[in-house]
Structure 1
Amino acid sequence: MNLSLFECLLAAGEVGIEELVADGREESLHLEFKTLPVNDRLTRDDRKLIAKAISGFSNAEGGLLIIGVATKNLNGVDSAHQKQPIENLQRCSSLIRASLADLLSPQNTAIRIEPLLSSQGSDRGYLLIYVPPSELRPHMDLMEQRYFRRGSDGTRVLYHQEIRELMLAPREAAFKAKFGIQTTFSTGDLKFSIRAMLIIQNEGKVPLIAPYARLDQQTWDVVEGIPGIVARRSGRKSGFFGSRDTIVHVEDEMAIAQIITGLDFRGTGEKLLPLAIQFARSPNGERLFRMAPTSQMGDTSDIPINVSGMIGAENAPAQKFEFSIGKAELFALFCDDQKV
């Protein structure tokens, strides 16, 4: 994701920066904006700012630092707000490139620094610093003599135990995204309310730390009874982010987001669920029941649940996912849930 944005901005130039500002693009696990008043040298504060950012990205999933964009805090999240092009762009690019050896240890040699010229002057513009994930973690910020890590809510200091984990544990956790349901209640007349859930399942040998999901849909919500997950919404999209204390242990799973749906079996003419399911499984039985939240059983129904986006964790690269669950799929999941 961060490499893709880096390459898109290289191709688009300043127009790409303007689009980020116009969209109010949020900072994230993989993206950070900074301003830098560089003239002919890097001050100590300039070096500290850059060292902290590249240490944070190197110790997480990697990311893109864009210098030359000011942010504004909206609903607790820093978002691109205004262009602030760097003066002496080429000089600044050379100074940062030359200083990397003094900012990070061990070196992340795959870091790329690329200037983007502004239309406002021949040597004004923006710096893109792409920091790939590293197999040499942990990386120390030499300016602060501390280790940082980028998370969904910013860059923070790593504790001693976390540094030890990075040194000794396998480099990445492994997981998969799955779809699941839970029947929450019945109205007593064969109408069932169902919680449909997006689930992250740990398939690796280390715990998943701070799981998160970014959905292309806004209609999902946090799962009741799962602490530590916070929802954020932007435009038509939504995000669900676990804190550092939110952990999915080995061979375990956690529901990150939910949407409420339901099944109505009154059309089968039966009063007992086993018989209603038997009728629903018969040829053309799909016509005998409906899919919708219980509040909408008399209105719109049989609309599939579609959900897509990115899912990941602080110590595992994000993956794309997409699920489309229609009435037949929901019915099969419901039967498994009810063990009938």
Structure 2
Amino acid sequence: MNNSFNHIISIAPMVDRTDRHFRYFARLLTKNTLLYTEMITAQAIINGDRKKLLDFSPIENPIALQIAGSNPEELYKAVKIAEEWNYDEINLNAGCPSDRVSGNMMGASLMAYPELIAEMISSMKSATKKPVTVKHRIGISSSKVTSSFMPYGSFHDFEHLSDFMSIINKAAPDRNIIHARIAILEGLSPKENRDIPPLNYDMVYAIKKEFTNSIIEINGGIKTLDDIHEHLTHVDSVMIGREAYSNPAFMARFDSLYNCQTLTSLTRRDVIEGFLPYIENLENKGENAHLALSHTIGLFQNQPGSSLWKRLISTPSKGTKSTILRDALDSLPHDVLDKKI
């Protein structure tokens, strides 16, 4: 499949997950994968602590900034502000089903207003030369959101999705990231919206066939390297969500997708030793090293020593977190620590 950005796989933006600590940790496992910030509202960027919101380490590149908003002028201002930072891509969130987000005319509720999405994309593109992309669902269901495009409070068929794509593509987004589920905007939590609406990968594949010149990335329920290879026969790229967070060793296999690279020889010992200086630096600056370490809780998923690892990094201790990591290197099964991921 065509991929003008040499981009095959990404880690989805996840609130309270894909912060700068997780992204640094992820870079120890994969060098090529596109990483995302957590969703940040345009108003927060305009009015908030920009360094706290937007700063990141150069090791995190390639990295995309995901912005939520509903006002084209505010999005223009937010993207202009973000130009001072070296993000590789700017992404518009039009897929988050959270009540807090959709209730403020952001996220998935925007899918009822594709003309507005197109206007926002155009506004963002006028503020930067970086790629501007959009993340959305295959449809939405809502009794509270109606529009001339969606008069009955929902759309979940291919024809509506095709019409939606035709409208937003007037603004020429550089990539459409499509979560292969509808978003149900009442009665389900964000977590339930990741599981309950059924996946419909075929609809995303059909969109790629219809919009052959659009770069299409698929998202939703993708958990294995075989899944990724299968999707890449139909679309241009793949986005991995919670599986990358709950089973971070999975990320070590992603670089094999680029330039026919072989699978990594990385071990969990390598990852822990690579993260140790980062944790020490946080401690030296008086920052919350526990928050950073909490992102590693799944590193030994399905491996002997998993319970011990979780206990070591989660249990309150008088020692420093860097000391805990050194203790882990001594106490975890060495055959697991030194086995290729």
For normalisation by structure 1, the TM-score amounts to 0.30
Larger radius of gyration: 1
Higher normalized strand content (fraction of residues): 1
**Greater length-normalized contact order (CA 8 Å, ≥ 6 residues apart):** 2
After TM superposition, the score normalised by the length of structure 2 is 0.30
Q: Quick check: which one's helix share is greater?
A: 2
